[in-house]
Structures are given as C-alpha cells and as structure tokens.
Structure 1
Amino acid sequence: MIKTKPYNLTKEKYTNIVVKKRFKKSWWLYLLMLLISIFNFNKFGQDNFTTFTVIFGFTYPIIIFMYLYFWSRSKNHDTLFETMNMSFDNSNLYFERSGNETKIPSANIEKVISEKDFWLLYLQQKGSFIYIQKDIFYLKTDMNDFNNLLMIEE
C-alpha cells in the first residue's frame, strides 16, 4: 500500500473549481444574455421590458458568480476543507479524514480530469468528485503507480 502526504482542499480552490465548471458548462447562456443586453442597450429606459432585459442580462453572470461564491463557502461544505490522507493499492483508494476511512474501488471512478496542480476524480454518483493534489506523492514512482491505477495519461 502506498501512502501520500496529507493535503486539503482550500475554500479558494473549491470556489475556483465550482465557478470554472459552471461557466465552462453554461458559457453560451451568459454570452447570449450579454449579447441581448448589448443589442437592446440603445432602447434602455424606453419601456419596462427592455429596461429589465438590459439590467438582467448584464447582472445575471455577476449574480451567478456571487451565488456560487457564497454557496461554495457555506458551512455545509466544511468537511471538504479538512486535511485528508490518501493511500492506495492495486485496486482501491483509501481516504482518511477526521478518523474516518473511506474505501473507493478504482472501478467506481468514472472520469479523471487532470489540471495543472490537481486531479478531479469523478465518481459514479452524479456531480460527486474527489480533489487530489499532484504534489502529495513522496516518490515519482508513487505518482506513476497512481497514474497507472487510474489510467491517467499526463
């Protein structure tokens, strides 16, 4: 069994992940809202509907960002920010947080997204992911074994 250094997800990193994921998924909606607002800007103040459309189109992305910012930092997510220890063997990942250990078979990992500093391991439950930093391995061979377990291509 290979053990890693303890690590944790920060509130800033989690907020960044959530906002980036949301805007990547719905960029076209925000662009459409802004374009509608820009095209109707010359009619601003002429009638209530156009005024509402312009104001809503310009403020909607900001409101969504503020909502995601405060949602990601809510007390409901405090357990996500605790220090975690990870270990793994040939077929399972083990996560220990606050004295509780969770075993996740590598077969339950549906998708792996590799970013510059971390991986997101998406589980079979919709919207559920595990954050793993790339600098938590003691040896380069440990990282290679982890990549092989999850079939990650760097």
Structure 2
Amino acid sequence: MAQPNCFIVNHYDYHLKHVKVRLKSAGDPGVFGVANRNSLDLVMKGRDTPECLIRYNDNVVQQVNFTGGGSYNSINMPNTSSSFNENNSILYTDSSGKESILVDFNTGDCHTVTDSDGIDGGPAAKIEAKLSVDSLNPYAGKQLLITISPM
C-alpha cells in the first residue's frame, strides 16, 4: 500500500479532554485537550518503505492516548515497540484491553471499531479509519483520517 502523506485524528461532538502523545526516544509533550471539531495532525514518514512511522514534531509517535497517559482508550502506532505495537498496522485499545485493527498497512484495509463504554468517561464511541484525497489539492496525495464520534 502506498502510504498516505498525513494522519489526522478528528472528533465530532466527542469531547477529548486528556490527550497524551507518547514519543519514542524523546520527552512526551504534556496532556492537552482537543476542542470539539478540531484535529490532532500527525505526519506519516516512510511511506515509500514497507514500514510506516507516524511523527509529531519529527519524533516517532508510539501512541495517542485519550485518558492522559493510561494504557487503554489509545491508538497504538505501527512499528514502534513490543510495549506498544510491533505490527505494520494501527491498533485501537479499549478500556478492557481489547485491541482492534484500525488500519493494516500491509493490505491497505481501513476499519471502523466501537468502544461501547466510551472514551475517558464519554458516551459509546465509533472510531473510523479511512483514506481520503484532498479534493482541493489532488496532488497533495492521500490522507489517513481517524474520526471519533458518539454512537
């Protein structure tokens, strides 16, 4: 699968108040909130290689956590470590510890998963991954969008 240029976590009518980005070989930024209908934009690097890496300020992202640093309600990035995710896929981990594949970079498949008990105390959530092309700039390439919304 040709890797997309950009990775965006959007959320619609779902309050994400304790977002933590865990970085590999760098200090993690503090916990922050992402206002409704705003996004957390990350960059995909290595899109022309077999293994995809997600970056934030040029550091490899291991995880985006929505509970301020816990191990649950998290998106675990591909090819990071045995502590997070060694596979060439993006995984979502719910509060019970169940992992679900959002994106498989080997096959190009994108999935939608549900979190029935919600994220960080919120209502039941739908987490949807999809590839899109910027209609205003088709030469910009594909974007990987992960959208979080209430069910």
TM-score by length of 1: 0.30
Larger gyration radius, structure 1 or structure 2: 1
More strand per residue: 2
More helix per residue: 1
